[in-house]
Structure formats: C-alpha cells, structure tokens
Amino acid sequence: MKQKTTRRVFVRRSAAAAAGVFIIPNIIPSTALGMGGKKPPSDRIVMGAIGTGSQGMSNMRDFLNLKNAMQFVAVCDVDSKHLAQAKQTVDNANNNSDCRTYGDFREFLEKETLDAVSIALPDHWHGIIYTEAINKKLHVYGEKPICRTIKDGQTIVAAVKKNNIIWQTGSWQRSQAHFRRGAELVINGRIGKISYIEAGLPDGGRGIGTPPVQEVPPELNWEMWLGPAPKVPYRGVTHWDWRWILDYSGGQLTDWAGHHIDIANWGAGLEYTGPVEIAGTGVWPMEGIFNVPVEYDFLCKYANGIEMRVANASRLKNGMGTTWYGELGWVHTDRGSVLTASDSKILDEVIGENEIHLYKSENHWQNFIDSVRSGSPAIAPIEPAYRAVSVALLGEIAMTTGETIHWDPVSETITGNERASRLLSRPYRKPWSLLTV
C-alpha cells in the first residue's frame, strides 16, 4: 500500500505550524503537532471518536487493531463512564495519558484539530452531528443507519458532497469476501436479469412495559442524550435499548437496512436510486414504551421492474440475509460466510477481466484509513448508505400511514401524499436544528 499524506491531511496538520513551510512528504515536524518532541509517523491519521458506547468502542478497537495506521487523540460522550473507558483504551494504545475528553460534541468539534472522526450514536443524533462534523471538513466513519429520517439523510449526503470529505458507512459486510462475491455474481448477470430480491432483517424482541421514572444516573447527561428528540423523563432506557423506541430509531428494520438492503442494492445496481412504489404492513407491540414494529413486511417496486421484499426474517423462507432472484436462478448471502445459489455452478463462475469488478476491501476500517490517505472514495460511501436506509424509512412510512407510497427517486420526494410527506422529517426540539447545507 502506498504511504502518502493527502493534501488535506497535510494542510490540516501543518495549519498550526508556521504558514507556507512545505515539508518533504511523510515527515511533519512534531512541533507542528504540538506533541513536545515526540515523533509519531506522519502517516498516522489523527482521529477522534464521538459516541463511545458498545458500537463506538467496537469501532475504536477495530481502528486500533490497525496498529500504526492511525491514532485517537480525543473522545466525546454524554456518559462519563463510557468516556472514561474510551480514554483508558486510547491512552493504553498511545502509551500515554493524553487523550482529551469531551461531554459536548460542539466543544469537541471546536477545539480538536483532527483528520477524521469515528461516530456511533443513537440515530436521532445522526443528522446534526454528522453534518456538523462534515462541515468541519473531517473525514467520517459513521455508523448506520446514517439517518433517522429521509430529510436528515439528504442533508448529510449534501454535506459530504459539498465538503468533499471521505465518508465510510459502518456497513462492514461490504468488506467481507462472500458478500462481495455474491453481489458481483449478481451484477454480472450470472443469474440473469434480476426480477425480485428479498432482504431478511431481524425480528423485533420482547417489550419491557413502561418502567417507572427514575433518577438520572450521575454519569449521564440526559438532556444532551435526548438532544433534538422530544423531552421525556428518564425511565432507564438509553444505551443499546434506544433502538426499540421510535423517537430514536426505526428498530431492527432501519438498523439492519445498512446491511442486507445495502448488499441487495450493491448486487442489483440500485445503489444510486430508490423504489417508486412501497406498500406493506407491520406488527406493533400493544403495550409499553418500546414502540418500533416487531414485524414488518413490505414490497418495493423499482422503475426498472425489480421488486424487493423487505421483511423480518421469520417471514421469509431464507430467513436473514439477501436473496436475489433472476431469470436463471437465485443467489443468497448472509453473515457467517453464507453464500449459496440455486445451482452450485453459479458459485464457481469466474468474473472476466472486462466484467464488473466490485470495489474490493478486506478490512472496513483499514479501507477508511487508506481512503483518507489516498483521497479516493471508501467502499461504503454516503449515497448508497442513504439509499439503503431510505428503503427502510419509506417502508416505515408506508406501514405507518397504511398507504401505498409513491416515491420519486430522482427528486427524492413522495408524490401525491401530503400526510406521508410530513413523515419524511421529524421536527427537532429547540434549541437544536439541522444545518442547511
């Protein structure tokens, strides 16, 4: 792999140094980094992390496994316990105690000079924090689903394009060989023209009723955790379980759209478009504060005639994963290296030199770092992430309204349905607002 410092990395890092001094590539004086004479390899990407819960820490570990490719210098979380754990992890990796900590992302973005940031937050915060980080011209490794609403997604996509940063979605399945292989067989017509796709995502789980209002634990800034979401008293639901409440998430459906719908789109060539018609049904819990659908089943029709059914896995013969059906057979792929086909010969097919070779990455986090260095796009760029979650969000709207939704994937609007159109965004609670890009 080529070791080079991108212009932007270079510019950002030397900004603190005397202007106009050009250094031989790969060597930046440590003084420029304010690191008191310590000399890190200049090709290390300097990163921070916003959101250091389970997924944020998982990503951090994956980045740290890359050894000398990057370095974390600052972390941000509204839970001081999570923050302390993250600082400990970073300090251990850096063999010092210098990792800076923040409880407010605004201060983090204001004070830190970074190349890139890893962000893993509840979905209701994605719109604001992704956009503001991107506007600071930081490269972003951002967790899926990239947005809670279509409008959030459109704003984030626009911000990425405007600021020309490297974006990597946490859709790491793309960096696994069997998912790429499955998608590559399909996009090269090995099962003929695709007519139908199934994306099986997890079923919803048990409810917890409505726990009593509780004292907010001292480590948690509840007001900041809620942020733009409606103000509600603390009932003990924050980390992880936010995904069962519609104010913060669309449940398993939106959570997993960035995996199996993303892979479906990748193989079917639907990465940069969306369905034109969406209709289906859901099953919602009757009681309790967990209110995301526990079952969902909807059909999306595309302008080119392809139909995609998205459902909780128990409703589908193949269960979890992506299944493409073409005129010559089917290909199914799922986690656990699952790659099967209607005829095993399909799986032995060789993709010729002049055929489509999908982007190849063997490590999702390394691919992000490499892309930041090279300035070329990462394997999971922003628009496919937006298009994948849009399918789920439009499905959510169809199920919520009980109507067939007509979507224009070019203008990215719902046509002929004012009520459904209102569900394309969620108003933010003051003082929060989404930046106009």
Partner 1 sequence: MRKQYFLYLLAAVLIAIMPSCSKTPDYKVLIITGQSNHDWKVSSEAIKQILDETGMFSSTILTTPQKGEDMSGFNPDFSKYNLVVLDYEGDMWPEATNVALADFINQGGGLLMYNSKSELGGIVVPDSVIILERQDFEIRNEISDHPVTSGLPVRWLHPADIIVQGLKPAGEDSQVLAAAFIGNEFRGPRKIEPVLLARNLGEGRIFITLIGTPDDNENMALHCTGFIVTMQRGAEWAATGEVTQEVPFDFPTAAGTVLRPDFKTFTGDDLFENIGNYDITRSTKYFTYLQSQIRKAGGDEKKLLELEKKMVGVLKDDQATNEAKKLILRELSWMGTDYCIPSVKKLASNQELTDDVEFALERLQK
212-220: long-range pairs with CB below 8 Å, 24+: 218/80, 219/79, 219/80, 219/81, 219/82, 220/78, 220/79, 220/80
Choice from 32, 66, 283, 437 touching partner 1 (CB under 8 A):
283
- Identify the H or E element spanning 52: none
Q: Is 338 in the site for partner 1 (CB under 8 A)?
A: no
Give Cα separations from 359 to 116, 367, 377 (angstroms).
22, 11, 10
Least distance in Å: CB of 308 to partner 1? 19
Binding of residue 309 to partner 1 (CB under 8 A) = no
Contacting partner 1 within 225-264 (CB under 8 A): 230-231
Residue 417 interacting with partner 1 (CB under 8 A): yes
Asked if the peptide bond before residue 145 counts as cis, ω within 30 degrees of 0, the response is yes
How many residues are present in the chain?
Answer: 437
Asked whether position 269 contacts partner 1 by CB under 8 A, the answer is no
Taking CB under 8 A as the binding criterion, the range among 96-104, 181-189, 283-291, 318-326 that sits at the site for partner 1 is 283-291
Query: Rule CB under 8 A: which of 383-402 touch partner 1?
Result: 399-402
**Residue 165 three-state SS:** coil
Q: Is 424 exposed, middle or buried (0-12, 13-18, 19+ CB in 10 A)?
A: buried
Q: Is 206 in the site for partner 1 (CB under 8 A)?
A: yes
Strand partners, 204: none
Among 18, 21, 286, 350, binds partner 1 (CB under 8 A): 286
Least Å distance, CB 25 to partner 1, is: 49
What's the closest the beta carbon of residue 34 comes to partner 1, in angstroms? 43
Nearest approach, Cβ of residue 321 and partner 1 (Å)? 15
Crossing angle between the packed helical segments 150-163 and 382-401, to the nearest 10 degrees = 170
- 56-95 residues in contact with partner 1 (CB under 8 A) are none
Cis (ω within 30 of 0) for the bond into 202?
Answer: no
422 near partner 1, judged by CB under 8 A:
yes
The SS3 of residue 178 is helix
Give the binding range for partner 1 (CB under 8 A) out of 96-104, 136-144, 198-206, 351-359: 198-206
User: What does the binding site for partner 1 look like in residue numbers (CB under 8 A)?
Assistant: 203-207, 209-210, 212, 230-231, 283-291, 294-295, 312, 314-315, 399-403, 417, 419, 422-423, 425-427, 429-430
